[in-house]
Amino acid sequence: MKINRYRNKRKYEPILPGPKEWPVVQISRNRKEFVQEVSDSAFERIKGITRNKVALIEELEITLFKEKARIRQNSWKVDPDDDASFWNGVKSRLLDLSQSKNKNSQEADNILKDIIHRYASEIAGNFNTSHYRIARTIATFGFNRLLNAARIKKFGSFWSDQLTMNDKIQINGEVEKLREMAKKGTIVIVPTHSSNLDSILIGWVIYTLGLPPVIYGAGLNLFNISIIAYFMNSLGAYKVDRRKKNIIYLETLKAYSALALKKGCQSLFFPGGTRARSGKIEKELKLGLLGTAIEAQRINYQEKGDKAEKIYVVPVSLNYHFVLEAPSLIHQYLEKQGQERYYVENDEFSSSYKIITFLFKFFTKGSNISVSIGKPMDVLGNNVDDEGNSIDRHNRLIDAKDYFTFQDKITIDKQREEEYTRMLAEKIVDQYSKIARVFSSHLVAFAAFEILRKRNRKLDLFSLLRLPEEDLIISYDELKRVCARLKDKIFERVAEKRMSVADHMHEPIDEIIDHGISNVGMYHSKRPLIRLNSGDVTTMDMNLLYFYRNRLDGYGLEKHV
């Protein structure tokens, strides 16, 4: 595709003057105090859940059991050296406690405090301004170099400045509104998640838009690799250990997120929790961290009343023609769907070598990407006006504080906030499906897959995916007819603001199909769609075709094939 056509050369000034003002700098400067604050808050939360001493001791024992199992079965390089000795200590203290029979009623609390403090110190990020600068410079510089080397196939083009990230990645949607709201309150960015690339991409987007750095949870496994660990730390990541599923850990994590938000740190959650393995746009969100946005907003109102800092939630959709991990993602998805047996989560990022090859492939080969910024919303999912006030559907002002009020007082009601979280998640999912940009590649993949499905109406999904090669050929005329019809239906929905399309979707249908076929999963060794010499179209890998097809799932387009 013609690179220069849809150039987006817009430069954005940083919205906060210098790093001194960044809340993330302030919490990392006072890291020790912050960890203590997190620990205190987590302690209160857990005491609230375990109402008496017996229940608390039980929780401690469960945690101990799980942690010992983790150390035995699944230990990582990044784990601290004293892991085993710490938990042995907990074990003997719990043993003493059970034998001494209530003599020291504080001991259970003390054990809890020690565990929480250990977790909180582990989670806490290590943001450092100069490292942030260096990391950012290296990243931007390196990416541009790679990009130029790959795209302009001329000797010496490695040093050319002809192309920048802006040409490769388009940012569209409510950019100005996002910047405005970032000046007025605390932003929580909630992107869709389909690739390991997402964290890097979104980091770049945040920098490009002139927003202060965000803090985000990054899997502890990424910190196993020292070079990645350096970048992650520099970019404001805190650590999330997916192996630790005990309540004490999860509550400490939530306390960390809620407190950071309260202090005005812009945050990022991938609310889908993990990469969308099916290729579908996320429909079910994880509510744990999302709930901390609502909690932090309520605490702000409790502490500051009408002057409270507001929290804005901004859905972001990341759109690709090509997801490098697609083959393994869809494989895992189908395996899980096919049989409910335990499967080991595949980690493509297990070594420095793999991640570097990944990045290299992406920047040298990847096709264009677009990032759509959704409408900023308050924590209940209401729209906000240009001043950041919540408004209802009739543009009437809403005082968001009223959601937490009963009889003129702000009340704490966990179940109420859980329900609000569920409502917010629905609003986010709704925005995802509206802002996700349809690419030519999604259209052709959907059309081709649905043509094959319709042709074999009696087969279930798994038999369909195993169709023999000779049954996979689609005549160009049929594909064109279906694509044209689907395109019309998509444009109807675009007019109703229920879907969005990339600019290239306005081209004539033959060009869209051409563009789609050459871009869909373009660097997989087995291409999801190829053109035969006869002009007809076929697939080399039904699973991959299904993966890319899924991006258009859930819009009710199937019936128009």
Residues that bind another protein (CB under 8 A): 380, 382, 392, 394, 396, 398-400, 402-403, 405-407, 413, 415-416, 419-420, 423
Least gap, CB of 402 to another protein (angstroms): 4
Least gap, CB of 512 to another protein (angstroms): 30
Strand bridging mode 397-398 / 311-320: unpaired
Alpha-carbon separation of residue 256 from 10, 220, 327, 415 (angstroms) = 35, 16, 35, 20
C-alpha 181/C-alpha 185 separation (Å) is 6
Nearer to another protein, 175 or 423 (CB): 423
* Of 436, 438, 442, 452, residue with least CA distance to 519: 442
HSE-up (13 A, CA, CB side) for residue 15: 22
> Which 3 state secondary structure label does DSSP give 7?
coil
Least gap, CB of 455 to another protein (angstroms): 25
Nearer to another protein, 370 or 433 (CB): 433
C-alpha 528/C-alpha 427 separation (Å) is 32
Nearer to another protein, 380 or 465 (CB): 380
Q: With beta carbons less than 8 A apart as the criterion, state whether 274 and 148 touch.
A: no
Cβ neighbours of residue 320 closer than 8 Å, sequence gap 6 or more: 194, 195, 366, 367, 369, 439
Nearer to another protein, 82 or 387 (CB): 387
Which residue matches tokens 């020291």? 104
Nearer to another protein, 469 or 492 (CB): 492
518: its two tokens = 């050459």
Alpha-carbon separation of residue 187 from 172, 233, 250, 375, 398 (angstroms) = 18, 20, 22, 12, 19
Nearer to another protein, 399 or 477 (CB): 399
287: its two tokens = 């509510």
Least gap, CB of 275 to another protein (angstroms): 30
Backbone angles phi, psi at 316, to 5 degrees: -135, 135
Least gap, CB of 381 to another protein (angstroms): 10
Least gap, CB of 423 to another protein (angstroms): 7
Nearer to another protein, 127 or 404 (CB): 404
C-alpha 542/C-alpha 190 separation (Å) is 31
Nearer to another protein, 229 or 313 (CB): 313
Least gap, CB of 362 to another protein (angstroms): 40
Least gap, CB of 450 to another protein (angstroms): 21
Backbone angles phi, psi at 538, to 5 degrees: -150, 175
